[in-house]
Structure 1
Amino acid sequence: MPPKITNSTAWQQAELLMQPAFIRVVDNLRKHLDQSSWKGTYHDVLIWPPGTTNETKDLVTQLLQEIETATPEQSEEIKHTLTRLPIPHPGYHLLLQYQEQQISVDLWDICYQVCFINYSSENMAVDIDTNLIDEFGEVDWQYLEEKTKQLVKQVFDNLPEI
């Protein structure tokens, strides 16, 4: 689940940082993949709230497809039904493969670790890592690159031995 940002200043800082962090994460992953035996493919995924049943996922998916071709009246009815159901948020994963082994890496999770202090998926309330912003209110590119390199290195360091 995406982190909860608690105030407008933090929201503005997150908006400033997320795109550069994502670009640095993808670039650093590419650099590691170039030197690795692991192969990687990127995938759009849907992240469902915890405890969502497969039946509910199927129903929501079906309704989201039906809304595309629904009449205005049907569309309103579908939207009303969807307000009572869990809705997934989009995610972006890197599937790492080596022979029979597969590891899925959540790119947004890495970005959140870059942008926020002590981020974990269990602790949704977050604080911006203000070291990523220089005294002029701009991205500190050097610190962003160093932190991103460290986190991406951890991903590859934690892969199973090959």
Structure 2
Amino acid sequence: MKPKFATLEAWQRAEILMQPAFIRVIDNLRKQLDQSSWKGTYRDVPVWKDDTPEAVKATVTQLQEQLQTAPPDQAAEIQQTLSQLPSPHPGYELCLEQDDRQVTIDLWELCYKVCFNQQDDSQPVEVDLSLFDETGDVDWNRLDDKTKQLVEQIFATLPSGIE
């Protein structure tokens, strides 16, 4: 889900929260992994618009791979072609593994849970205003507490019996 905002002010507040929330999500996941028997691996994943055809995704991916090793004259041509095609947004996942169990956590979705009150794809998101203090600055303690609670909740609900 890519969040939709009802107002410019909501977008600006979310922009203030997202980076610190992401940092706290990563830090809390690391702390939980240190105490867990689950093994975690982070990976970058492309996130495409829903209506992007599979053939276009494959072409873009192939061109991006070619760009890595292309000589300068071909690189310019590849970049020109890519500029005319849709491109994915960067996504990040944590893949948890334990024995034959696997769980994937979308890190942006987790950040959205930290920063927003509700998530309904059909409605604009509501920024969690309790994450700001009375002066409008980020309430770091509240942000830390909410992030820790959500990450602990994920580990508490991992597939049965081991944790």
TM-score by length of 1: 0.83
Residue 152 of structure 2 aligns to a residue whose secondary structure is: helix
> Partners in 2 of 1:159 and 1:100 — Cα distance?
13
Is 2:17 the counterpart of 1:13?
no
- The one-letter amino acid of 2:116's match is F
| Alignment map for 1:1-162 (pairs within 5 Å) | 1-50=1-50, 52-65=52-65, 70=74, 75-80=79-84, 82=85, 85=86, 87-120=87-120, 122-123=121-122, 125-161=124-160, 162=162
**Unpaired runs of 5+ in structure 2?**
none
Deviation at 1:65, TM superposition (A): 4.3
Which region of structure 1 is more displaced relative to structure 2, 3-12 or 111-120? 3-12
8 Å contact from structure 1 (residues 5, 11) kept in 2 = yes
> Partners in 2 of 1:156 and 1:123 — Cα distance?
28
- The one-letter amino acid of 2:83's match is K
Over the aligned positions, Cα root-mean-square deviation in angstroms equals 2.3
- CA pair 14-149 structure 1, distance change in 2 beyond 3 A: same
TM-score by length of 2: 0.83
Deviation at 1:125, TM superposition (A): 2.0
**Unpaired runs of 5+ in structure 1?**
none
- The one-letter amino acid of 1:151's match is L
Q: Show CA shifts across 1:99-156 (max 9, x none).
A: 1211111111110110011125x34621111110111111111111121112111211
Residue 20 of structure 1 aligns to a residue whose secondary structure is: helix
8 Å contact from structure 2 (residues 60, 82) kept in 1 = no
